[in-house]
């Protein structure tokens, strides 16, 4: 070891004393230079995207085409009767509220509030029936194990493909023989029997994503299927229930075909069917009153959608509903 150390010391050169370094130790300043990057001659711009321009332009044109009839209905409701069909201008020359006054007075000896109450009864009843029946059926398909469950679920989904008019004649014959025509029963009975397969399917997919451990823990605590459904599954099913309620309300409020088939007395008409009373076969149609009634019938739907828009988007996003 000693010979090796002496050999290394012999090869090592003498250490020179260079003195203190830096400005604080009596030497000159230490300067640093950074390399400069040459700038490009021009600024690179984003390439022009013709596809995006065409897409947004087409969407704007489509939006205007869809909004024009709605705006025309609102503005024409305050036009004089002789100006409604003679001019397609959006702004009226002499605004008048005569159409709204006639619409609020009612028609066919039926007050307007009666039409509103009929629509409200049908819409709220449809919402209650769809929410309860579809959620119960969805829980049975998603959580219970019984013979023929897969076949029944497939058959239920298959009913979505059936045209509504295919079942119209047998249903009408059945309700006529039961003496239920010209009542609200044919319009509400199906809602309490989970006949809207789309909403059942929507809730089944939502329930299947819920943890199975919640049901197992409740079964260990002695809960039956009804208590599990009512106290555990139903509160967690809130987004899908809200989506079902909003769509059911809007569809029932705007439904025209089913009330036209089953209702005969004007005092039982909802708002969409009451608009037909303003159309006279003798060419004496009161377009001002009809447009005024149309605007009045749109206001509850617009207010309902605006009030629950956030919940509708939340429910559609969490339940997997896509337009």
Give the DSSP H or E segment for 172.
helix 168-177
- Residues 6 or more apart whose CB falls under 8 angstroms from that of 305 comprise 246, 250, 312
What gap in Å lies between CA 281 and CA 128, rounded to an integer?
38
Q: What is the DSSP letter of 85?
A: T
Per-residue tokens: 315: 């429910």
End-to-end distance of the chain based on CA atoms, in angstroms?
Answer: 85
pTM of this structure: 0.75
* pLDDT for 45: 59
- Taking 90 as the threshold, does the pLDDT of residue 175 lie above it? yes
Average pLDDT of the chain is: 82
Lowest-pLDDT range of 24-33, 111-120, 185-194, 246-255: 24-33
Cα-based torsion angle of the residue sequence 222, 226, 231, 237 in order, rounded to the nearest 10 degrees: 130
Per-residue tokens: 9: 């010391």
Higher pLDDT pick, 16 / 158 = 158
* pLDDT for 29: 53
16-37 burial string, b = 16+ CB within 10 Å, else e?
eeeeeeeeeeeeeeeeeeeeee
What gap in Å lies between CA 43 and CA 48, rounded to an integer?
15
Per the DSSP assignment, residues forming a β-bridge with 110 are 107
Positive or negative, the Cα torsion across 118, 124, 127, 130? negative
Q: What is the mean pLDDT of residues 140-152?
A: 91
Give how far the C-alpha of residue 82 lies from the chain's centroid of Cα atoms, to the nearest Å: 39
* pLDDT for 8: 52
* pLDDT for 135: 95
Per-residue tokens: 75: 């503005």
Q: Where in the chain is the domain with CATH 1.10.3720.10?
A: 109-319
pLDDT digits (tens, 9 = 90+) for 227-273: 999 999 999 998 899 889 989 999 999 999 999 999 999 999 999 99
Q: pLDDT class for 61, splitting at 50, 70, 90?
A: very high
What gap in Å lies between CA 175 and CA 170, rounded to an integer?
9
- Residues 6 or more apart whose CB falls under 8 angstroms from that of 143 comprise 207, 215, 225, 228, 233
Per-residue tokens: 265: 């007395």
Q: What is 109-319's CATH topology?
A: MetI-like fold (1.10.3720)
Residue 315, exposed/middle/buried by CB under 10 A (0-12, 13-18, 19+)? buried
Higher pLDDT pick, 146 / 281 = 146
Per-residue tokens: 63: 């939006």
Residue 203, exposed/middle/buried by CB under 10 A (0-12, 13-18, 19+)? buried
Helix axis angle for 197-208 and 112-143, nearest 10°, is 40
- Give residue for tokens 């009666």: 114
Cα-based torsion angle of the residue sequence 292, 293, 296, 301 in order, rounded to the nearest 10 degrees: -130
pLDDT digits (tens, 9 = 90+) for 262-273: 999 999 999 999
Q: pLDDT class for 288, splitting at 50, 70, 90?
A: confident
C-beta neighbour count of 323 within 10 angstroms: 3
* pLDDT for 48: 60
Q: pLDDT class for 160, splitting at 50, 70, 90?
A: confident
- Taking 50 as the threshold, does the pLDDT of residue 323 lie above it? no
Q: What is the mean pLDDT of residues 6-19?
A: 53
* pLDDT for 44: 59
- Taking 90 as the threshold, does the pLDDT of residue 185 lie above it? yes
Furthest C-alpha separation in the chain: 130
What gap in Å lies between CA 189 and CA 210, rounded to an integer?
30
């Amino acid at each position: 070891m000693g010979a090796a150390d002496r050999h290394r010391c012999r090869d090592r050169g003498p250490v020179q004393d260079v003195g203190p370094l830096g400005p604080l130790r009596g030497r000159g300043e230490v300067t640093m230079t950074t390399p400069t990057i040459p700038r490009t001659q021009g600024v690179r711009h984003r390439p022009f995207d013709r596809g995006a321009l065409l897409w947004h332009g087409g969407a704007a044109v489509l939006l205007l085409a869809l909004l024009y009839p709605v705006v025309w209905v609102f503005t024409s409701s305050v036009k004089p009767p002789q100006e409604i069909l003679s001019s397609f201008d959006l702004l009226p020359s002499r605004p008048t509220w005569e159409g709204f006054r006639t619409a609020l007075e009612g028609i066919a000896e039926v007050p307007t509030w009666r039409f509103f109450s009929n629509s409200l009864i049908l819409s709220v009843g449809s919402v209650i029936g769809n929410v309860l029946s579809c959620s119960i059926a969805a829980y049975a398909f998603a959580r219970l194990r019984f013979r023929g469950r897969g076949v029944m679920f497939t058959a239920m989904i298959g009913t979505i493909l059936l045209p509504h008019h295919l079942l119209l004649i047998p249903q009408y014959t059945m309700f006529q023989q039961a003496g239920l025509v010209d009542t609200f029963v044919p319009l509400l009975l199906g809602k309490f029997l989970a006949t809207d397969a789309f909403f059942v399917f929507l809730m089944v997919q939502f329930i299947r994503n819920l943890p199975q451990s919640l049901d197992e823990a409740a079964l260990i605590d002695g809960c039956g299927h009804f208590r599990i459904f009512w106290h555990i599954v139903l509160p967690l099913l809130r987004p899908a229930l809200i989506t079902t309620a909003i769509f059911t309300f809007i569809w029932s409020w705007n439904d025209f075909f089913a009330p036209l088939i089953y209702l005969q007395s004007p005092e039982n008409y909802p708002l969409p069917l009451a608009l037909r009373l303003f159309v006279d076969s003798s060419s004496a149609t009161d377009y001002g009153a009809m447009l005024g009634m149309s605007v009045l019938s749109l206001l509850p739907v617009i207010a309902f959608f605006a009030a629950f828009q956030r919940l509708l988007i939340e429910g559609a996003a969490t339940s997997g509903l896509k337009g």
